[in-house]
Amino acid sequence: MDKIRKDDGRDDAKVDLNDPNDISYAAQQAGISAEKYKEYAKAAGTSGRQAIAKYIEEHEKQA
């Protein structure tokens, strides 16, 4: 099967930190608030979903 390409240029591997809907969805998947997700993304220094998820996992254990 051919890889399906999104015509609007979105990259599902990254969260658009300027899009409240994208942040809200990613936060819901992570089980935290959108506000907290954005804080973690900034602290992680990336918009990559996997990197943010790893950062959240490491820091939620400490909380």
Mean pLDDT, residues 17-43 taken together? 95
Q: According to the model, what pLDDT value does residue 62 have?
A: 74
Q: Which two tokens stand for residue 16?
A: 């658009």
Q: According to the model, what pLDDT value does residue 12 have?
A: 82
Say if residue 17 is exposed, middle or buried (CB neighbours under 10 Å; 0-12, 13-18, 19+). Answer: middle
pTM reported for the whole predicted model: 0.78
- Domain spans, the chain: 20-62
Percentage of the chain lying above the pLDDT 70 cut: 83
